[in-house]
Amino acid sequence: MAPKKLAIWVDGAYQNDAIFDQNSPLNRDNCLSAFRMLNTKMAARGWVCHTQDMYQHSEEIPDAVLFMEMPGAPVARLLGAWAGKTAPYAALLECEVIRPDNWRMDLHSQFKAIFTWHSGFVDNNRYFKINFPNAFPAPGELPRPEKKLFCAMIAAHKSASHPLELYTERERAIRWFEENHPGEFDLFGIGWDRFTFTGPKPLRALNRINLFTRLFAPRFPSYKGPVDFKRPVLEKYKFAIAYENAREVPGYITEKIFDCMFAGCVPVYRGAPDIAKYVPRACFIDRREFKTHDELYAFMKAITPADYAAKIGAIAGYLASDKPYQFSDKCFAETVGKVIAKA
């Protein structure tokens, strides 16, 4: 009996099965581990996995197609000759602040089932619970709590007009440290040394010219450049600013708090209002508990070595438990694989 076929629908850079390649430069911080894990889980169920272009080249029709986020065109149009012959699924990982099209209910009917972190939709019939998947380090791999550097942030420089966006709050934290304690904060990530042109298409075309994007870029004295891997950087710092892209969205928890914990770095977290339901309060500093940056900074500076070691111990204990399993690449692969194979 021929194996059944699953297609992962991805953009150009991830095609040609690059999404399954552990050695791909796209696999920064092992961020693609969930797809390799899914490949393995599906193989155990008698399926094969490829990106959609591989099936298109071989003129094969997959039994199922998994879209990552809401596609930018109608599913039937994208599937073309596959429409009606393959079962489409979607994994909706971004919230409405970042991807409002993910939560247009009229678009959900295009899919046989949807995987999402949004508990308000989960019914285990058409909507199934998943989270942003993380590749967890092996037990005992957390660095020791002694750190030479104080605080860092690793994030891309972005903006949004939505009232719940947190990009602005990230920038406020950066500017506060630069103005008040410049020697105790370092900024990493992409885009901080570039200006993004918005508006009419001719103006946006200037984003392709490095000279202009750098000429008009705002200056961030704390900026140290991009990083290839987050963990070796965060391991050097006691704390890291870990703000989600959006605030007050229940259950919307991405890799940001986990990146810090994996590095043995205490996160200063803001984002999901119910974060303590998923991650113990002992593992992070809740930014909402402080009215100002001055209050936050005073609290961070007052933490004794013993208290800090206790937080690192709490992080280690949490990561070694079964509680964070739902945020793992294994859970993502098992949930997605089980639903698709069963259907």
The three-state DSSP-derived secondary structure of the chain is: CCCEEEEEECCHHHCCCHHHCCCCCCCHHHCCHHHHHHHHHHHHCCEEEEEHHHHHHHCCCCCEEEEECCCCCCHHHHHHHHCCCCEEEEEECCCCCCCHHHHCHHHHCCCCEEEECCCCCCCCCCEEECCCCECCCCCCCCCCCCCCEEEEEECCCCCCCCCCECHHHHHHHHHHHHHHCHHHEEEECCCCCCCCCCCCHHHHHHHHCHHHHHHCCCCCCCECCCCCCHHHHHCCEEEEEEECCECCCCCCCCCHHHHHHHCCCEEEEECCCCHHHCCCHHHCEEHHHCCCHHHHHHHHHHCCHHHHHHHHHHHHHHHHCCHHHHHEHHHHHHHHHHHHHHC
Do residues 121 and 155 share a domain? no
pLDDT at position 313 is: 93
Whether residues 220 and 271 share a domain: the answer is yes
Task: Round the average pLDDT of the chain to a whole number and report it.
Answer: 93
CA distance linking residue 117 with residue 129, whole number of Å = 5
Evaluate whether residue 144 is within a structural domain.
no
- pLDDT above 60 (res 197): no
- Give me 62's structure tokens: 């997959």
Residue 193: per-residue pLDDT: 85
- Identify whether the C-beta of residue 229 lies closer than 8 Å to the C-beta of residue 248: no
Q: Is the pTM higher than 0.75? A: yes
Provide the pLDDT for residue 148. Answer: 87
pLDDT at 343: 82
Q: State the pLDDT at residue 145.
A: 64
The domain of 29 spans: 4-135+328-342
Judge whether 194 lies within some domain. Answer: yes
CA dist., res. 242 & res. 271, Å (int) = 9
Q: Domain holding 155: CATH number?
A: 3.40.50.11660
Q: What is the mean pLDDT of residues 215-242?
A: 91
User: In this predicted model, what pLDDT tens digit does every residue of 150-179 receive, in sequence order?
Assistant: 999 999 999 888 999 999 999 999 999 999
Does 117 map to a domain? Answer: yes
The closest of 34, 113, 102 to 341, measured between CA atoms, is 113
Q: Identify whether the C-beta of residue 327 lies closer than 8 Å to the C-beta of residue 253.
A: yes
Query: What does the pLDDT look like over 272-306, one tens digit per residue?
Result: 999 999 999 999 999 999 999 999 999 999 999 99
140 within a domain of the structure (yes/no): no
Residues 337 and 313 both lie in one domain: no
Say if residue 166 is in the same domain as residue 128.
no
For residue 121, the tally of other CB atoms under 10 A from its CB is: 16
Residues 307, 172 share a domain: yes
- Where is average pLDDT lowest: 79-88, 142-151, 284-293? 142-151
- How would residue 204 be classed by pLDDT, with cut points 50, 70 and 90? low
Answer yes or no: is 293 within a domain.
Answer: yes
**Nearby residues of 18 by Cβ (< 8 Å), 6 or more positions away:** 24, 26, 51
Q: What is the CATH number of the domain that holds 88?
A: 3.40.50
Question: Number of structural domains, the chain?
Answer: 2
Q: What is the dihedral of CA 33, 35, 37, 43, to 10 degrees?
A: -150
Q: What is the mean pLDDT of residues 251-270?
A: 97
Confidence of residue 205 (pLDDT cuts 50, 70, 90): low
Block residue for tokens 């990530």: 189
Q: Encoding tokens for residue 94?
A: 């971004």
* pLDDT tens digit sequence for 15-69: 999 999 999 999 999 999 999 999 999 999 999 999 999 999 999 999 999 999 9
Same domain, 332 and 320: no
Looking at the fold, whether 59 and 166 belong to one and the same domain comes out as no
Residue 268, pLDDT above cutoff 70? yes
Do 221 and 92 share a domain, yes or no?
Answer: no
Is 59 a domain residue?
A: yes
pLDDT at 212 over 60: no
